[in-house]
Each structure stands twice: as structure tokens, then as C-alpha cells.
Amino acid sequence: MKDVFDNEMKLEFVSKASNEAFARVAVAAFASQLDPTIEELADIKTAVSEAVTNCIIHGYENKKGIVKIVGHLKENEVILEISDNGKGIENIEVAKEPLFTTKPNLERSGMGFTIMENFMDSMEVESIMGLGTKVTMSKKIKPNLENEEKEFQMSI
């Protein structure tokens, strides 16, 4: 049975570095429906930035491709799938190790997956060599107590 979501969005764009900021803003606008704190929104934007940058730099290298983002809102949780149809990851466990990078000449820190894991509540990576990679991340947004108090007072 397919999950029932409160809301869903799909976004596709060319794998250009300039589109990374666009992806961050689009996902932030979508996640804002859950009324996250500025810190929660910053965490989501940072994780999206890392995932999209990985698609552009590692998935497609110097070739043009399409980066896809599918976002779901379910109750108080944002679920994001960020994928490419690039070259894939040979060994996901090695790639997830802090400071591992396949592009040392680009002065990359090798912390992308570590950042995604630390800023989101969950992160999974699926990859098939020659077909691409999909990163699925989720974050629960804590209820805004101020809004809940207002709603409670209005219901009295």
C-alpha cells in the first residue's frame, strides 16, 4: 500500500552548481508549511545542499544531467528524496566515512554524508553503478508551542 502524505512536491533541474541554491530555497519553502524553527530549516537546507552538490560533483562529474527532488510532508515530518542518474557509488559504506572524498583536487571536505546524517533524523543511500544514486532523508519538525497555545486558547 502506498503511503498517504499530507502534501508532496517534485522538482527537477539541470546539474549546474548555480541550481544548488535554488534547490535549497525550494525545499525550504515546501518544508515551511510545517512551521519549523529557523534552526530546523537551516538543518534541512544544509542537508539538501550537500545532497545536491554530491549529485552535481560526483554523480555527473563534468557532464550535464538532471537532479530530482521529491518531497513529502506527513504529519510533522519532512521526507526528501534527492537523486541523480549519474555514475553511482561503488562502495556506499566507504563513501559515508568522514573525510572520504573521490575529488581531493577540488578541496572537498568529504563530510557530505556525515553532515546529512547529523542534520537530519534519518538518511539512507541507495546506489547502482552506472544508473545513479538516491539519498532519502527525513526530519521531524517539533510542534511550535506558541501556535499550539494560541489554538488551545481559541478553542476554549
* C-alpha to C-alpha distance for 18 and 46, rounded to whole angstroms: 15
Across 7-76, the runs of DSSP E, i.e. the strands, are: 7-14, 66-74
Task: Please give the pLDDT value at position 7.
Answer: 95
pLDDT in tens, 106-148: 555 667 888 899 999 999 999 999 999 999 999 999 987 655 5
Residue among 76, 77, 108, 144 flagged as catalytic: 108
Residue among 40, 50, 81, 117 flagged as catalytic: 50
* CA distances (Å), origin 127, targets 17, 88, 92, 132: 22, 5, 8, 6
- pLDDT surpassing 80 at residue 12: yes
93 is catalytic: no
User: How is the chain split into domains, by residue range?
Assistant: 7-155
pLDDT-derived band at 156, boundaries 50, 70, 90: low
| CATH 3.40.50.300, domain 7-155, yes or no | no
54 is catalytic: yes
Task: Please give the pLDDT value at position 21.
Answer: 95
Task: Please give the pLDDT value at position 96.
Answer: 76
Q: Residues near 135 by Cβ (< 8 Å), separated by ≥ 6?
A: 51, 54, 81, 82, 83, 116, 123, 124, 125
Task: Please give the pLDDT value at position 77.
Answer: 97
Residue among 54, 81, 85, 117 flagged as catalytic: 54
Residue where the block lists cell 554530491: 54
- pLDDT surpassing 60 at residue 66: yes
Q: What phi, psi does 83 have (nearest 5°)?
A: -140, 160
- pLDDT surpassing 90 at residue 67: yes
12 is catalytic: no
pLDDT in tens, 82-110: 999 999 998 777 777 766 666 656 555 66
Task: Please give the pLDDT value at position 146.
Answer: 58
Task: Please give the pLDDT value at position 92.
Answer: 79
pLDDT in tens, 26-47: 999 999 999 999 999 999 999 9
pLDDT-derived band at 1, boundaries 50, 70, 90: very low
